[in-house]
Structure formats: structure tokens, C-alpha cells
Amino acid sequence: MRSIRNRGRLIVGSLFLALFCGAAAAQAPATGPSTELRTGSGPAYPNKPIRLILPFPPGSPNDTVGRALGQKLSELLGENVVPENRPGAGGNVGIGAAAMSSPDGYTLVLATPGIALSPSLYSRLNYDARDLAPVARVTTIQNILVVHPSVPAKTLQQFISLARAHPGKLNFASGGAGTTNHLANELLKSLEKINLVHVPYKGATLGMMAMIGGEVDEVVVPVPAAIPQVRAGKVRALAVLSEQRVPALPEVPTAKEAGVDNFVVSIWYGLFVPARTQPDIVARLSREVIKALESPDLRERLSAMGVDPWPGTAEQLASLVRSETARYANLIKSIGLRLD
């Protein structure tokens, strides 16, 4: 009888031990790598959709690049990255909206060189540069200087000589005062001490079409926009404004090769979040953006648009903004340009 009671106690004890161990195992944390980021005692980041502000209209290069990047980030982060177009004031409307958002990691903005230009162009902005924190450098698009076929210049040096011989007779189109293609020509004027007349249009595309129509002599535009026109003979390419030649137009020299030093003007994109966003969230986003830009599918998609992936850390983006701000501030001050 005692043997039966002992055996019963052993069975009950074994069952209790099994139940206890099972419960403990269920509560134990899973082992192995985790992609989740926990912010203090709060929920894992991200745990809801992330807003990506695109401060230019649908169909713009900023829009197409942002949507391609957002789609890839959605895959990597496990939450939807939702594009939101907020155009206006050269990108300042969208950038300002991002700067005023909650610094919780759920609002991003894809900025252009305008973020470096605006402090010198406007006496009053709807945001301060200190309201934003850099996350990652994203892409770059090279510019090219093209002329109408009627212009009797086959090289950049011949164009400069023509401008010197006839000051104020040659003109150039731009997408508006203070845009990069406007300031590119102002930089050329400053470097070579020539006089070109500025003819602003409502967008670089309209400026390009005006030049094709013979209304103006010259324009600086992104390489992807110029390629079909160059190949069709509607415009003549004189120089790319980059450090190296572009593979799509290998016969076109760089400005330096064409005899003009320091004439490098590109369009770049960088990702920012509101200032005071937690450093671990910024670091996570930076890693994922760089990973996205190194993925073959996104690189192929961007290259098909004529956009060069240019992944860089938050520190590299911050350095780029500082150098571009200083560079353009000197140029803008020298020509006395203000937009308000």
C-alpha cells in the first residue's frame, strides 16, 4: 500500500515538474538573431506604418526615387513605408512638415540639395536645419550642360569664348530662380567671368523644351532627361558636371576635362527624420537604407531611371549638407539672390 502511495506521489511530482518546465519554456525568450528594435520598455520598432514625405509632386525624380526606396524599406522593416507628396516652395513645405512632426521614427523626408540652398535663399523658413537629423545619403543624379544646335560651339571652351566675345548675348534656361540648374550656370559665370542671361521657367522640363524650340541657347539638366534629346540630335552636349564621365554618354567629357575646374553640380537625395529622434532608431533606419541601396533589385531599378545609388551614413550625409551649404552660400551671396 505504501508502495502504491509513493508511486502516486512520484507520478504527480513528475507531472508538476513537466508542467512547470513547459510553462517556463513558453515564457523564455527565443534565441537567435532578431530584427526587432525595442525602445526602452515600449513596443518593438517599427510596429505601425511609417510616413515618407516626398516634398515634390508625383512623377518628379524625387517622387520616383522615394517610392522605389520606400517599397524596399517596407520589405526590410516589416512595416509599410507610405509615400506622401507634400510639394511647394522648392521642397520647403514638405521638409517643414517633417521637421514639425513627432520625433518617434514614424516620419521620414527625402530631401534634395534645396535643404542646403534654402537657408541662403530665404530670410525666413518654416523650419530650422537643427529641426532635422540626417539618416542616410541615398542617391545622386548627374547634370549635363547642353546647347541648342544653332549655337556655334562644339566644346565647353568654345561656348565660354563665345560668351566672352559677346557678353550678355547668350542666355540659359532654368527651372526657376534658386534651382540647382540656375545656380550651376551662376557658378560657371563666376568661375569663367562671363555674362550669360538667365531665363527662368516653371520647371527644368519646360526650360529644356524651350531650348529645344530655340527660345534659349543653353540649359543644365539631369543626364536622364538629356539622353534622348542628345541622341536625337536636338541638343548638343558640351560637358557633364560630375567627377567622372557617365556610362550612358561616354563620349561627353567632364567639365574638368573640358577645361573648367570645380564645375561639379549634381542632384543628390538624403533621408532625414525630425531632430530628437532616438539615436538607436536613426541607426536602425540608416542601416536599412544602406542595405536597401546595396540590394541588386533596387540598384537595377534606380539605374534604369538614370539614378546612381549613393549609399552613405548619417555622418556622411551631415558632412555633405555642411559642405554644400557653405559652397552655395558664398555663390548666392556673391550674386545677391534672395527669394523672399
**CA 272, 278, 283 angle in degrees (round to 5)?**
65
pLDDT for the residue 63: 94
> Which residue carries 555642411 as its cell?
322
Which candidate, 111, 68, 78, 109, places its Cα nearest to that of 299?
68
Per-residue pLDDT of the chain (340 residues; tens, 9 = 90+): 444 444 444 333 443 333 333 333 333 333 333 355 655 556 789 999 999 999 998 988 899 999 999 999 999 999 999 999 999 888 999 999 999 999 999 999 999 999 999 999 998 888 988 999 999 999 999 999 999 999 999 999 999 999 999 999 999 999 999 999 999 999 999 999 999 999 999 888 899 999 999 999 999 999 999 999 999 999 999 999 999 999 889 999 999 999 999 999 999 999 999 999 999 999 999 999 999 999 999 999 999 888 999 999 999 999 999 999 999 999 999 999 999 8
pLDDT for the residue 99: 96
pLDDT for the residue 40: 55
- Cell, residue 80: 509599410
CB 167 within 8 A of CB 130: no
CB 277 within 8 A of CB 103: yes
| Residues forming a β-bridge with 137 | 270, 312
Domains in the chain, ordered, with CATH? 44-140+268-335 (3.40.190.150), 142-240 (3.40.190.10)
pTM greater than 0.75 (yes/no)? yes
CB 220 within 8 A of CB 143: yes
Q: H-type helices in the chain, by residue range?
A: 2-27, 61-77, 92-99, 114-121, 156-165, 180-192, 204-212, 223-231, 279-293, 296-304, 314-335
